[in-house]
Chains A and B, each alone.
Chain A
Amino acid sequence: MEYEKCYVFEPDATRPAKRRKTEPQGLQASWRLRREGYRAAWAGPQARIEHALSSVHDESLDEVTRFLDEQVTPANGIESTRIPTGIVLTGPGGSSRGSLANRVADRLRSQPRRIYVPLDSTVTPNLKAALKRFIQRATSSTQGEDEDDEDAVATTRKGRRLLNYDLQILADYVRERKIEQVVLALHDTEAIASDVLSELVELLGSWRSRIPFVLLINVATSVDFLQQRLSRGAVQSLDGRLFDAVPSSTEVHQVFLALTDPNTKLWIGPGLLASALERQSDFISSADGVVEMAQYAYMSHFYANALSIFLAPEVKLKDVPSDHFDALRNLKSFWGYAKYLIDSDRVEAPERVRGLLDDNAQLFKEVQRCITEGQAALHRITETLHVIRTAQELLPGGTATLKTSLYIQALSGKLAGSTLIRSMLLSARKAPSDVVARLIDAVRVAMASIEDEPASNAAAEVQVFQNELIQLTASSKRGAKQQTLRSEDDIGSSTVRTTVVAQKVQLSKQKSELSKQDAAYTILVRKFTDVLEAYFSATLVDVQKLPFHEIFLFDLKSPHRETFTPRPRHAIERALVTPHDYLGCECCAPDKGQGDEATLSATQPATAVLYQLYLESGSLINVSDLWQAFQAVMSEKKKDEEQLMALFQRGVAEMRYLGFVKSTRKKADHIAKVAWKGL
């Protein structure tokens, strides 16, 4: 075939003997339905996330647009000689969705008298290119013309011929159309070369009297850094105002709230969320990673897990193939549920379990019920977290734990009865009556807003306490001054008494005198915390024990990890060290006695052999020595030197292509080692 430059591929007319499976079979048969389910389930969170991310910037967006509006009509009629500049601190890797600059552009686009031109580092390799691009985009932005590079020289109405990087073109354009403002947005200021940036700013500064420029600069590192990079003239011609973009942690929080909305079909598990948040803070610091994680979790759940069919909207019994019910009966949580039913002493329990095992219709109904209940339970947990945070904020010296970390703890079943809750309740017991009054009120409000049974029951009880407390504090008025009631558990109300008996110091605690109201108050607070505790233990259930939680809770870390954080370097190194793992051939299989130890053998690919020799050598490799070693290894199998030499050369070329070696001028006949293993 090599002698032909090209050829026509003519496939054999006959189909291969083995028929391809074009129709999905078994559990795969339901994938169309599941795809519909995915679309329905993801539509909600997607819309919520987009809305949250776009509204998170509203405040800073208003600030920036107000600043731009102010510049249109200069203050007290005097045009400043300096360019008004909005400096937006975005931080490294700001979110690409709904970013501030794009939204500013959207707002300005509706105004015909203002021009918005974004520039980034890819189009500004030098001043000429930057100006060319700037003028081109500015003059075409309101006309909506196609960009054409052909016209190198523009002709103005006066008949003068101007070079296409001459700002006079823009000045004429501004005058003709009575443009009030030209906003130039520089997205990645750090990546633009310092001299280009300085010259651009100086030049725009000198045209400021003819063209009403406003600069909008994104800064990812710091203002000082930007100022150091600019020339003195450029610094003098800028008149900056600082704006903060919303930190990415706020964005992430908004995304999290959108993902835990009450209508959520599929909930993200604690492990997955924890790893995504960790990755976010360790590496990227933008909310995009978390959004990607969520979408990928939805996709992998609906596309790979056949049981997700039960999450599809309005799924009917006849839509579900029967093998799905068999799969359902094999779930761990179903076994646990069946066992729990059998163990309960109810009379109808065995009948019911039998029914679930035999009758698909009954199981279908049960699954539907359990899923709804499970989703409701998860929602209850997030509501409870809100109550916990409200209480934490009000208690003395308490700072609210992040909602995400509470969620992770709660869903992994560690929150109920944790030290966090216990210490919170203890400090509530010690608190004086004014704090507790506020606490009771806040908790009652938070609980009353939740529409479900345990919360409304608890809210009713808390209501009773609130009334009692109001009566108590009213009766404790001593004279004109309202005094706060103290609890018996408060450390301040007990004193430590020291007595010396036979030269030994004895410490004894003594409760100070408490009034009748105080005693009543103590009982009340204790009852209140008991109710809270009961409420927490009722709602903070262990989600791993919910029946069929595999269907509505997704907590697999590895699909996300393998997809979003691959290890390219490690993969190549490993493949070259142990080619057998990938080829699966018999000839290279390691001997029984040697275990996993990688061994050199002639049957391995030439590049793999060379790589293992490469690992043993120093930073400079003598090619002749390498060839000798290679020959020694390979000669077991192939004796022909010409063939071996060809293999060797190809192997070395591949190593160079992969970036392991490079030629060096330090020593003749040597190649330099470039990459070390395991980095």
Chain B
Amino acid sequence: MRLSALAAQLQRLLRGIEKYMLVFDGIDRQREPPPTLLPALARLGEHVPGLTTVLIVNYPGPRFLHAAGIPHIQFPPYSRNQSIHILSREPLDIFTGDFPAELDYDDETHAEDKSWLWPRFCAAVFDSLGQSCARDYSSFRSVCHKLWPTFVSPIRKGDFGTRDFSRLLVAQRKLFQEESVLLDSILSPPTSVTTARRAQAYNLPYYAKYILIAAYLCSSNPARLDQLYFSQTSERKRRKKGGGTARSGGGKPSQQRKLPRHLLAPSAFPLDRLLAVLHTILPHDVRSTIDMYAQVATLASLRLLVRAGGFGGGDPLEAGGKGKVGPAVSWDFVKGLAGSLEFALADYLAE
């Protein structure tokens, strides 16, 4: 609809112009593109005389232009030497702020030194980390920029001279062995050594923890085993551990390979099952007041419980509605919760 208008307008505008180029950069990274957009753009040149369209794409899918025989140029990724060469054109400073007084130093020698040291450092980073993990230019650049201040800190302190590259490399070899620098984090790395590591998580209220444990149990235990694990009368069966049941006798491995349940995706459960399990795992009786339902709603707003179809709309408390634990509620997370409550989680978890 709009594309035909574009074609018509272009025809009008380009009347009398011999040659016109239209370049679309990163056109494959469109948000919600209509399926016909790219082929139509590619074929604009057929309708508008004198127009050439150039599409710059990162990952061309097979037949993404719905046409064969598209002329194309491939730009291969930069090689090692190319990457290092490009990056060495803009070296970072060795010294920030004033130069140390004991060195007889000025801006000129600094520029000389850093343009000597920086390419060597870049080559070392490429060989150790970049080759396997950060081969594209931007991530290679960010890794180099992250490592540089730590790398040159002995020079700043005066332990090494600016040209002692090999000794510096040996002294700082840990930097090139650690891979944590490759992982991105939304927290910027601490500039100085902070006193105590801040807690990165918050404590949940008492009942919220139990509700999450109950939800995890509901999500991972099959409903037909509930009677076995949660019924007050089957206490003895549950305690029996390692004695073996009728099915597990003999040494023959089972035909079906069974995955541990905590590796499977959580399954949905109705709200009433959650509440019933909650009442059996709580160490004491509790009046189920509005607070309990409000807590479920709060957990749902934190995405620790999520809706999973069933009856009713988006309301987590709708009778007959189904929920499951959110992606953040992993086996380790629940184990941590159970540990803080001294709750014997393993006793209630189906194998």
List residues of A whose CB falls within 8 A of some B CB: 76, 85, 87, 89-93, 121, 127, 188, 190-191, 199, 219-230, 232, 235-236, 238-242, 244, 279, 281-285, 565-570, 658-660, 662, 672, 674-676, 679
Across the interface, do B288 and A283 meet the contact criterion of CB distance under 8 Å? no
Assess whether B198 is interfacial by the CB under 8 Å rule.
yes
A93-B298, A221-B202, A283-B295 known; A226 and B320 CB under 8 Å?
Answer: no
Across the interface, do A91 and B203 meet the contact criterion of CB distance under 8 Å? yes
Across the interface, do B31 and A92 meet the contact criterion of CB distance under 8 Å? no
Across the interface, do A566 and B290 meet the contact criterion of CB distance under 8 Å? yes
Map CB proximity to A onto B187-223 as digits: 1 under 8 Å, 0 otherwise: 1100000000011111111111000000000000000
A-B contact count (CB 8 A): 134
Assess whether B301 is interfacial by the CB under 8 Å rule.
yes
Within the assembled complex, what's the spacing in Å between the Cα atoms of A658 and B187? Answer: 48
A190-B303, A662-B311, A679-B275 known; A92 and B186 CB under 8 Å?
Answer: no
Interface size class on chain B is 35 or more
Of residues 173 through 189 on chain B, the ones whose CB sits less than 8 Å from some CB of chain A are: 184-188
Which residues of chain A are within 8 angstroms of B293 by Cβ–Cβ distance?
569
Q: List 13 A-B contacts (CB under 8 A).
A: A89-B198, A92-B205, A226-B186, A232-B184, A239-B186, A239-B188, A240-B188, A283-B207, A566-B290, A569-B288, A659-B318, A676-B272, A679-B288
Which residues of chain B are within 8 angstroms of A674 by Cβ–Cβ distance?
270, 272, 311, 319-320
Rounded to whole Å, the gap between the CB of A129 and the closest CB of chain B is 14
Across the interface, do B205 and A282 meet the contact criterion of CB distance under 8 Å? yes
Rounded to whole Å, the gap between the CB of B185 and the closest CB of chain A is 7
Q: Which of B188, B207, B288, B319 contacts A282 (CB 8 A)?
A: B207
List residues of B whose CB falls within 8 A of some A CB: 31, 96, 142, 184-188, 198-208, 270, 272, 275-276, 279, 287-295, 298, 301-304, 311, 318-320, 327-328
Q: Which of B272, B287, B294, B302 contacts A221 (CB 8 A)?
A: B302
Across the interface, do B311 and A92 meet the contact criterion of CB distance under 8 Å? no
Which residues of chain B are within 8 angstroms of A281 by Cβ–Cβ distance?
205-206
A565-B290, A565-B291 known; A241 and B187 CB under 8 Å?
Answer: yes
Across the interface, do A659 and B319 meet the contact criterion of CB distance under 8 Å? yes
Which residues of chain A are within 8 angstroms of B294 by Cβ–Cβ distance?
283-284
Across the interface, do A220 and B202 meet the contact criterion of CB distance under 8 Å? yes
Across the interface, do B301 and A191 meet the contact criterion of CB distance under 8 Å? yes
Which residues of chain B are within 8 angstroms of A91 by Cβ–Cβ distance?
202-203
Rounded to whole Å, the gap between the CB of B5 and the closest CB of chain A is 14
Within the assembled complex, what's the spacing in Å between the Cα atoms of A244 and B202? Answer: 10
Across the interface, do B200 and A92 meet the contact criterion of CB distance under 8 Å? no
Rounded to whole Å, the gap between the CB of B337 and the closest CB of chain A is 12
Rounded to whole Å, the gap between the CB of A305 and the closest CB of chain B is 25
Top 9 closest A-B pairs, CB basis?
A659-B319, A222-B201, A674-B320, A565-B289, A91-B202, A679-B275, A238-B186, A240-B186, A283-B291
Which residues of chain A are within 8 angstroms of B275 by Cβ–Cβ distance?
679
Across the interface, do A85 and B301 meet the contact criterion of CB distance under 8 Å? no
Across the interface, do A284 and B186 meet the contact criterion of CB distance under 8 Å? no
Which residues of chain A are within 8 angstroms of B276 by Cβ–Cβ distance?
676, 679
Within the assembled complex, what's the spacing in Å between the Cα atoms of A404 and B320? Answer: 42
Within the assembled complex, what's the spacing in Å between the Cα atoms of A565 and B292? Answer: 9
From B194, which residue of chain A is reached at the shortest CB distance?
A: A242
Across the interface, do A190 and B184 meet the contact criterion of CB distance under 8 Å? no
Within the assembled complex, what's the spacing in Å between the Cα atoms of A567 and B289? Answer: 5
Which residues of chain A are within 8 angstroms of B184 by Cβ–Cβ distance?
232, 235-236
A127-B31, A220-B202, A223-B201 known; A660 and B187 CB under 8 Å?
Answer: no
Within the assembled complex, what's the spacing in Å between the Cα atoms of A244 and B197? Answer: 12
A223-B186, A660-B319, A674-B272 known; A244 and B288 CB under 8 Å?
Answer: no
Within the assembled complex, what's the spacing in Å between the Cα atoms of A236 and B203? Answer: 28
From B142, which residue of chain A is reached at the shortest CB distance?
A: A236
Across the interface, do A199 and B186 meet the contact criterion of CB distance under 8 Å? no
A227-B186, A662-B320 known; A284 and B291 CB under 8 Å?
Answer: yes
A232-B184, A242-B198 known; A284 and B301 CB under 8 Å?
Answer: no
Within the assembled complex, what's the spacing in Å between the Cα atoms of A659 and B290? Answer: 17
From A679, which residue of chain B is reached at the shortest CB distance?
A: B275
Which residues of chain A are within 8 angstroms of B207 by Cβ–Cβ distance?
282-283
Rounded to whole Å, the gap between the CB of B33 and the closest CB of chain A is 14
